[in-house]
Structure formats: structure tokens, C-alpha cells
Structure 1
């Protein structure tokens, strides 16, 4: 915990500082939600398949970040972390001419059945 998943699309994949984003988001998660740094894990999932309304999808990049935390954080804490996530995303994705960035984020409670395993 926390489990962070970043879904994102072309055409900005080359302008996305994934490592910088993950490090900054891990720091924000520790600061805002009281997570342990060594517990922060981020998985990036890229897709070049996307659709956006009725427009040409090539002019739109889609990002969605999900942060799963153990239950117990207030709605205010989750909202602060969500806002910071979007700020960091804007800072870590280089603008491209003619491309609109659509970004969303959510912080949610992990299900009570959540368990972890580390080993070989």
C-alpha cells in the first residue's frame, strides 16, 4: 500500500516523465496520506487505443491515475492527494502543439480483502 496505477495514452508518451512523476507522487502520498515511502508502488499502463467524443483521437491524450490506500483517510485527505496528483501530472507531461491533455485522478480505499506478498 499504496497501490498506484497510471493509465495513459499517446500521443504524449515520449513527453511523460514517468520516473519523475512516480517519485513526486510517492513523496506526496507520504506527506499527505501518511504512507511509508517503501510501501509506494506505481504501475504504468500505456495504450495507443483511445477515443474522444466525436473528434479525432490523435489530438487528445488521456491520463487516469488511481491511488488505492488502506481505509481510514478522510475525504479531505483524499481530495488533497487527488489535487496534488493532477498538479504533478501537469508538471510531468510536456505540452505538445495541437494536443489536449485530459487528466483525471481518484483516491480510493482498498477493499478489506487486500493483502500483499513479497518474496522470491
Structure 2
């Protein structure tokens, strides 16, 4: 915990390592997570469909960040964290006039059945 996933259109260009580091630092500061518990996975998608647009046109790009946290954070903390995620996306995603960027973020509480192990 936290389990962080970043789903994004492959054509988005950004410094993933620096973004993850900044996001981990923000998660520790805002949500009182432990640094060694922060894990981020990036999943690039080859196809992004937007409305009725032909996906091959590439007029739109999407990035969505999901943060899975153990229960107990207030709604205020969750909102502060998602606002910070959007701020970091603005900072770390290169501007490109070739497409419209749709960025979003959410915090989800991990189910009480959540378990993990390390080797």
C-alpha cells in the first residue's frame, strides 16, 4: 500500500520515473504513507477511443491515475491527493499541441481483503 496505477495513451511523453518519485513523495506527505510502501505501475495503451472519433486520428490522449490506499483517510485528504496528482501530471507530461489531453485521478480504498507478500 499504496497501490498506484497510471493508465495512459502510449503517445503521451513524460518522465515516468520523476513523476513516480514526486507522486510517492506527495503520497507520503499528504496521506501518511510509508515511502517503501509506495508502488507505481505504468500501463500504456496502444488504442484510445474518444467519442465517435477514429482512434487512428490521435486527436485525444488520456491519462488516469488510481491510488489504492488502506481505509481511514478523510475525504479532504483524498481530494488533496488527487489535486496534487493532477498538478504533477501538468508538470511532468510534455505539452503537445497535436492532441487534447484528458487527465484524471482518483483515490480508492483497498478492500479489507487486501493482502500482500514480498520475496
When normalised by structure 2's length, the TM-score is 0.94
Q: Deviations over 1:41-100 (max 9, x none)?
A: 001000111100123440111001000000000000000000000110111100112211
Pairing 1:7–2:7 present: yes
Mapped partners of 2:54, 2:99: distance in 1: 11
**Contact 1:5–1:44 (Cα < 8 Å) also in 2:** yes
Distance of 2:40 and 2:81 partners within structure 1: 15
Deviating above 6 A after TM superposition, structure 1's stretches of 4 or more consecutive aligned residues are none
d(CA) in 2 for partners of 1:75 and 1:54? Answer: 35
| Cα RMSD for the two superposed structures | 0.9
Equivalences for 1:79-94 in 2 at 5 Å? 79-94=79-94
Q: CA–CA distance in 1 between the matches of 2:65 and 2:97?
A: 23
Match of 1:47 among 18, 21, 45: 45
Q: CA deviation at 1:19?
A: 0.4
Give 3-state SS (helix, strand or coil) of 1:67's partner: strand
Could you list the runs of 5+ residues in structure 1 that have no partner in the other structure? none
TM-score, length-normalised on structure 1?
Answer: 0.94
